[in-house]
């Protein structure tokens, strides 16, 4: 057979094409994850295995001007929420033969976009995913766009019309929490969120406030706080303020910007002798595993974080491959999971059994 391998020779793509009785371009499509029929794909894969062919990634990338890497830029990797994002991206990359490079822009405690700027300037990535895209990330987005690099956004805090974005329905999330707390009998609700310019925080507070108002419950501005981020120290500071108030002036329920903040608030008030939910009900956002592994279990709004990340990555890969698409965004539904951290306010009876 003309494609038979000679001992010591390195098999070529031409030999694979001859063995599989297909064009060289077809072999290339199979190797690079392109579209072919299943029968042709099997023939090419069998020829590759028989000949021991290994494509030269470096040579291919020189021709295509691709790196086979996508960039993932986040403020911090130190959160259960980010772990779900990374899982979703890894799942999307499996069939693509691409890798992900990661930058934590708050690695040393201050914002440093230099590593990501370097990726873009030196074309070390084929596309970029920005998590919680904000005003300070705008130069990165502009630079990527100028270089022709596709960009996808996960839970952005700033609109960017040219990028594909995925996010949760945060207004609906706030409304779910409001209905739950109002049904339990709470008439005084506090809120501690992330930064004031965060779309997630503003929309969650909006949904919470409007839904409570429809049930005759107003939110006292004294009990609403914004932080520098979605961090433990923000929640701990809010808890200390909460504990300084006379008992009759404390909110009977507190909603935190994410599960990390909710658990930090919970720990602080427990350390000062309060009982949950008897003295204060606590609700978080994100639905991380940490919330179900503590006691009392955390009532929280679950985001489909892993699905969102998988969707964003697949959309980015389509843009890299120049596949046409009219879809520019996706808003994901949320679900309230009720656990032991929320119940009727003091004096309104025993808390209900937790449910999922």
Tens of pLDDT, residues 272-318? 999 999 999 999 999 988 888 899 999 999 999 999 999 999 999 99
Contact in structure between 69 and 126 (CB atoms under 8 Å): yes
Instruction: Tell the residue number behind the tokens 């992900």, with chain if given.
Output: 100
- The structural domains of the chain, ordered by start, are 13-55 (1.10.260.40), 67-167+305-332 (3.40.50.2300), 170-304 (3.40.50.2300)
Nearest to 300 by CA among 261, 331, 258, 264: 258
Q: What's the mean pLDDT in 98-107?
A: 88
Q: Where are the alpha helices (DSSP H) in 38-187?
A: 38-51, 57-64, 80-93, 114-121, 138-146, 170-184
* Total-model pTM: 0.76
Q: DSSP letters along 266-311, please?
A: HHHHHHTT--TTTT-EEEEEE--THHHHSSSPPEEEEP-HHHHHHH
The Cα 66–Cα 320 span in angstroms is 9
Within a 10 A sphere around the Cβ of 352, how many other Cβ atoms? Answer: 14
Tens of pLDDT, residues 156-209? 987 777 789 999 999 999 999 999 999 999 999 999 999 888 889 999 999 999
Q: How much is the mean pLDDT over the chain?
A: 87
- Give bridge partners of residue 281 from the DSSP assignment: 253
């Amino acid at each position: 057979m003309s494609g038979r391998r000679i001992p010591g020779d390195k098999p070529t793509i031409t030999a694979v094409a001859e063995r599989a009785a297909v064009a060289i371009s077809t072999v290339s499509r199979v190797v690079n994850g392109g579209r072919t029929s299943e029968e042709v794909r099997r023939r090419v894969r069998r020829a590759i295995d028989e000949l021991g062919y290994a494509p030269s990634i470096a040579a291919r990338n020189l021709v295509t001007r691709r790196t086979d890497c996508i960039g993932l830029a986040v403020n911090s990797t130190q959160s259960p929420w980010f772990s779900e994002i990374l899982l979703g991206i890894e799942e999307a990359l499996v069939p693509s033969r691409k890798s992900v490079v990661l930058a934590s822009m708050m690695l040393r405690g201050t914002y440093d976009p230099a590593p990501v700027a370097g990726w873009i300037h030196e074309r070390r990535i084929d596309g970029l995913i920005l998590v919680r895209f904000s005003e300070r990330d705008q130069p990165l987005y502009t630079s990527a766009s100028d270089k022709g690099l596709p960009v996808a956004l996960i839970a952005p805090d700033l609109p960017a019309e040219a990028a594909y974005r995925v996010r949760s329905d945060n207004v609906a999330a706030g409304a779910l929490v409001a209905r739950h707390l109002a049904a339990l009998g709470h008439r005084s609700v506090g809120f501690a969120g992330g930064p004031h310019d965060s779309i997630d925080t503003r929309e969650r507070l909006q949904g919470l406030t409007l839904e409570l108002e429809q049930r005759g419950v107003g939110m006292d501005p004294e009990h609403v706080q914004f932080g520098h981020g979605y961090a433990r120290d923000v929640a701990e500071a809010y808890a200390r303020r909460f504990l300084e108030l006379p008992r009759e002036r404390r909110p009977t329920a507190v909603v935190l910007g994410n599960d990390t903040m909710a658990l930090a608030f919970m720990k602080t008030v427990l350390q000062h002798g309060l009982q949950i939910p008897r003295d204060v009900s606590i609700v978080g956002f994100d639905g991380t595993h940490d919330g179900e592994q503590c006691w009392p279990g955390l009532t929280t709004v679950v985001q489909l974080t892993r699905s969102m990340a998988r969707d964003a990555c697949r959309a980015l890969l389509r843009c890299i491959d120049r596949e046409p698409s009219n879809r520019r965004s996706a808003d994901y539904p949320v679900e309230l999971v009720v656990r032991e951290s929320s119940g009727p306010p003091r004096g309104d009876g025993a808390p209900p059994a937790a449910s999922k």
